[in-house]
Structure 1
Amino acid sequence: MAERLNKLLARAGVASRRGADALIAQKRVTVDGKVATLGAMVTPGVEEIQVDGERVRVADVPDRHFAFYKPRHVISTVSDPYDRPTVVDFIDSRVRLFPVGRLDGASEGLMLLTNDGDLANQLTHPRYEHEREYRVKISGTPLESVLQKWRDGFWLGEERTLPAAISVESSSGGSTWLRWVMREGKNRQIRRMVEAVNHEVHELIRIRMGPITLGALKAGEWRRLSAAELRALDEGRDEPLFESGDRYFDPAVQSAGSSKAKPRYKPGWARPKRRAKRGKRQ
């Protein structure tokens, strides 16, 4: 089955789709010995693709989809010029992964990582309007008029925010926990909306993206998306398949607790404490 050349190159880990288009425009990509053109359709396993004279194998590149709990102070990109930890440092994958639904460094919670550009576009493009759900801890106790302003949407700079579903979970000790459901994701939007009415965000945790929930994942852990979750995404559903916090039982689930899923540590990271060695069995 023919697929777009830039998608195949992205799946093979050569570059992102945009990067693949740049390679094609620079005439560095050939298909069966002929210089490729933008928008070209190619049948993997039948036509030979080369980049800079090197053959690209794409026929056996599987789709990979992961749910990941991004910790605070981890960067939501593939690489970082300052060598800070990024989300892809936590997942042992042989294919190039792209983060979906970025979170700023001070925020935490659910992100998806995939090598499927179509899925990434479906989850992030505004026209699909998938719900995103957050738990947000703010300073003080917001007035009902403030809550209603957030719910109705208002002008934030040159853009107007869309209506959102916002409820109070609890309020004590000079702070309030909110449940915040929205269908957009402008840069630092929740933080800016909160700051616009003289409150501050102390914690921000994303717990759901469309039908995918954080579940029982802890910071730094990940799992593969189940077949049911992928079907729900393909159908454009938003209803959560599992409530966040519930145990997620699936034989395919893996997490950072397994030996293959531990993040690669970088200079400046806190090393995990070594477990005490057990005595030999008698």
Structure 2
Amino acid sequence: MQGSANLNIMIKAARKAGRSLVKDFREVENLQVSTKGAGDFVSRADTAAEKIVFEELTQARPNYGWVGEESDPVEGKDPTRRWIVDPLDGTNNFLHGQPHWCVSIALEHKGEVVSAVVFDPAKDEMFVAEKGGGAWMNEMRLRVSGRHRMIECLFATGLPQAGRSGLPAAMQELGRVLPAASGVRQWGAAALDLAYVAAGRFDGYWQRRLSAWDIAAGMLIVREAGGLVDGIREGDDPLERGEIIAANEGVFDAFAKAVRG
């Protein structure tokens, strides 16, 4: 894929942060004897990765705004463009030594995501998309799956962690989707779940109580791979509401109906 200058900047930043995170990831196993020690270590790794991405992006585009999970928002001199960044999506997986986490970077222009990168350093898979340019993983063009029967489909979601609300609604949704589907997975990294929908590895994904940095990049990658994206409440903007349904076109309506009830 011949990407724009902005996309190349994003890829470079994601790779640099990914190298830092992989190095830290190798140390996680040594810290499992101390939950507090491991947690503190991962928090530092997360913050360090965001610092790398912030420096790479703001040095290249100093006028753009910024919103990231681990830092305060920055208003750019160019009010039409901002970076939306999650330096470590799948923190809990990282903490437990599970190689399913990623760096997520999106570029928003006039309220619309136009460029996206989701980088999985553990597997060296770089998912990218630009509006109108298709979606790619490394050198391979991505297309959502062609399945259209719910019973053949594998879906993904995320469930509320301890202390967070929303478990009853999530269990009701699972109760409607599971009997109709081949299976449901909870892998704990929203950005990668969406990238997997784009790659046809999942047929659909839904989740509530998300932040913009969790889904901004993944949404564009799904759409550019031919998938559909909407809010759990039909017509809502997932970035504003933090609730999302994504799937291939063939199964989207049946899947959305099951999730929405």
Identify the TM-score tier after normalising by the shorter chain: under 0.3
Structure number with larger C-alpha Rg? 1
TM-score by length of 2: 0.26
TM-score by length of 1: 0.25
Greater per-residue helix proportion: 2
